[in-house]
């Protein structure tokens, strides 16, 4: 019996073990996988974020630029070491950039909620400047911001090897409102590029990297819209409120803290034939205190200050499409007038002052000098606004699906008021021993051409060449002091118009 009992118990235990093993091996129903679905509501490239009703699109580009005969990737050799036209002037400037855009959209009962961010990662090299020691520096400061690093050891010093991170856009759109850092509504749709790749084109306002704003756009149908709101003036639209009594030919900047944003209004018609847009801007010029008349200077509350003065700008933009020269050809034009708001014409990529060197038959060298400001004043006086006008445009022709060319140009004029001219000219005689005609007004002209080859979709090779002319209104000679940072000696210089030539070779892959 014992043997039979043991056999029965062992068999039962074996069956239990086998049934347990089989139960463990049975398939368990897996949770359904949420595959990424295409979102066709907002165009190509959008996908639903899994588990949500929000659509997202990732896009961007990788670009490499080589700029020829310039120290600046923005405006050619119009100032500093580039304008010196000597051994500190770069033969080329090289930049690599990765751009990433993140676009999300969600349909709601109030309309689409959109967020958009555009981030850039850039490396720029060969941008050397001179020092008082007769050598060159890159940057020119280290990571601490206070120590010059001489070439060539600067290549990996001061954080330069890490490149730079930029945030072009970061905004929310909801129920007609745009809130955050976006293209200024004042700008034409092509911003600073009616037909060009070159950044230094005058003749209109344009914030390529976006500006903080709070605006509302109403759509009336048939392509008609109106926008009204405010935008930040500090980053891109302050061309200078200068105290001419503070020393220097064009005085010194005397901004107080900003108390009012720029007020923007736009009306646009955007249809199949093209676009027409009128933009208005109001710009508050808010100065600090009257100064002591020395550089650096500081005013006090007891010294008093000029009252604020509001400036303004008006711009018209026209785009014509479907012109008979070929499919995809276009003409983009705009014109602008400003009174106390100069960066709506001489856009923010330009330097505040122009200092361009050249040859001379009557002096050591020649100089072209000019200064940009919104308004100027002297101790005890009110702000006198600076007036400008300008225009720019471009024509693009597509030779075939793979080749396109464009011709473009811009022209800007700036003029000072009578009181400002009198003070600037007195400074020129006192500080520079001007012997000749004094007039701080000037014109700036740019013209260029480019050709784009697109061998395959979303890959483009571009060559862009341009000429810049500074038509300054001074004449005669000055006795200029030495400027050690660009190796210019104290000498007699002829005041004369100047020219600058530069080029751009670009390769860009969009995705």
The encoded tokens of residue 266 equal 């736009």
For the chain, give the mean pLDDT. 87
Per the rule left: phi > 0, alpha: psi between -120 and 50, beta: everything else, 32 is beta
- For each of the domains in the chain, give its residue range(s) and CATH number, in order of start: 46-510 (2.40.160.10)
| Predicted local distance difference test score (pLDDT) of residue 162 | 54
pLDDT (mean) for 119-129: 75
Min mean pLDDT across 82-86, 155-159, 408-412, 464-468 is at: 155-159
42 pLDDT above the threshold of 70: yes
Strand order in the sheet with 128-130: 128-130, 136-141, 148-150
Q: Which of 409, 386, 405 has its CA nearest to residue 467?
A: 409
Q: CA-based angle 271:276:277, to the nearest 5?
A: 125
- What does the alpha-carbon distance between residue 462 and residue 97 come to, in Å, rounded to a whole number? 15
Inter-residue contact 158 to 148 (CB < 8 Å): no
CA quadruple 296, 261, 353, 139: dihedral sign: positive
| Predicted local distance difference test score (pLDDT) of residue 261 | 97
Adjacent-strand bridge partners of 213: 180, 231
128 versus 59: the higher-pLDDT residue is: 59
- What does the alpha-carbon distance between residue 60 and residue 139 come to, in Å, rounded to a whole number? 27
pLDDT (mean) for 458-486: 94
- What does the alpha-carbon distance between residue 267 and residue 276 come to, in Å, rounded to a whole number? 8
Q: Which of 175, 225, 232, 244 has its CA nearest to residue 207?
A: 232
Look up the pTM and report it. 0.87
Contact residues for 264 (Cβ-Cβ < 8 A; gap 6+): 184, 185, 186, 213, 215, 227, 228, 229, 230, 231, 279, 280, 281
pLDDT (mean) for 5-11: 42
Adjacent-strand bridge partners of 399: none
Q: How confident is the model at residue 472 (pLDDT cuts 50, 70, 90)?
A: very high
301 versus 210: the higher-pLDDT residue is: 210
257 versus 153: the higher-pLDDT residue is: 257
Q: How confident is the model at residue 150 (pLDDT cuts 50, 70, 90)?
A: very low
133 pLDDT above the threshold of 60: no
8 pLDDT above the threshold of 60: no
Q: How confident is the model at residue 135 (pLDDT cuts 50, 70, 90)?
A: low
Q: How confident is the model at residue 31 (pLDDT cuts 50, 70, 90)?
A: low
State the number of CA atoms in the 13 A half-sphere of 283 facing the CB: 29
502 versus 486: the higher-pLDDT residue is: 502
For every residue of 175-189, which 3-state class applies, written as one string? CCEEEEEECCCCCCC
pLDDT (mean) for 151-162: 45
Cis ω before 152 (30° cut-off from 0): yes
């Amino acid at each position: 019996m014992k043997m039979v009992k043991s056999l029965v118990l062992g068999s039962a235990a074996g069956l239990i073990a086998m049934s347990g093993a089989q139960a463990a091996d049975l398939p368990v129903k897996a949770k359904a996988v949420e595959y990424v679905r295409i979102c066709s509501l907002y165009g190509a490239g959008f996908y639903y974020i899994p588990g949500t009703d929000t659509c997202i699109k990732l896009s961007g580009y990788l670009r490499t630029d080589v700029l020829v005969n310039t120290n600046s990737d923005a405006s050619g050799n119009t100032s500093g070491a580039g304008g010196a036209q000597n051994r500190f002037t770069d033969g080329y400037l090289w930049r690599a950039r990765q751009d990433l855009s993140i676009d999300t959209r969600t349909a709601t009962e109030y309309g689409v909620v959109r967020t958009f961010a555009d981030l850039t990662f850039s490396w720029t090299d060969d941008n050397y400047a001179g020092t008082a020691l007769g050598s060159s520096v890159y940057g020119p400061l280290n990571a601490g911001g206070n120590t010059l690093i001489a070439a060539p050891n600067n290549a990996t010093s001061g954080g330069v090897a890490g490149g730079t991170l930029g945030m072009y856009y970061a905004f929310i759109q909801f129920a007609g409102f745009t809130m955050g850092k976006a293209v200024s509504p004042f700008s034409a749709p092509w911003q600073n590029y009616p037909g060009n790749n070159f950044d230094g084109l005058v003749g209109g306002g344009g914030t390529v990297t976006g500006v903080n704003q709070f605006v509302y756009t109403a759509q009336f149908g048939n392509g008609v819209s109106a926008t009204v709101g405010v935008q930040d003036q500090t980053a891109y639209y302050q061309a200078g409120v200068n105290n001419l009594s503070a020393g220097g030919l064009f005085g010194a900047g005397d901004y107080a803290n900003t108390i009012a944003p720029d007020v923007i209004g736009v009306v646009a018609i955007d249809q199949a034939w093209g676009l027409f847009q009128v933009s208005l801007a109001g710009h508050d010029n808010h100065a600090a205190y009257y100064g002591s008349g020395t550089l650096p200077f500081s005013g006090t509350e007891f010294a008093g200050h000029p009252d604020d003065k509001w400036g303004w700008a008006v711009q018209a933009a026209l785009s014509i499409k479907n012109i008979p020269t070929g499919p995809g050809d276009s003409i983009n034009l705009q014109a602008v007038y400003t009174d106390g708001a100069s960066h709506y014409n001489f856009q923010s990529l330009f330097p505040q002052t122009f200092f361009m060197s050249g040859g001379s038959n009557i002096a050591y060298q020649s100089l072209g000098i000019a200064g940009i400001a919104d308004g100027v004043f002297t101790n005890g006086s009110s702000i006198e606004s600076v007036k400008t006008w300008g225009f720019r445009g471009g024509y693009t022709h597509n030779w075939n699906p793979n080749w396109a060319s464009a011709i473009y140009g811009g022209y800007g004029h700036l003029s000072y008021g009578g009181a400002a001219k009198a003070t600037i000219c007195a400074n020129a005689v006192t500080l520079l021993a001007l012997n000749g005609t004094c007039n701080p007004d000037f014109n700036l002209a740019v013209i260029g051409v480019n050709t784009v080859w697109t061998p395959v979709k979303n890959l483009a090779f571009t060559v862009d060449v341009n000429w810049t002319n500074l038509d300054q209104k001074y004449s005669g000679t000055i006795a200029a002091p030495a400027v050690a940072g660009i190796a210019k000696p104290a000498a007699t210089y002829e005041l004369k118009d100047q020219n600058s030539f530069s080029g751009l070779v670009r390769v860009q892959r969009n995705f």
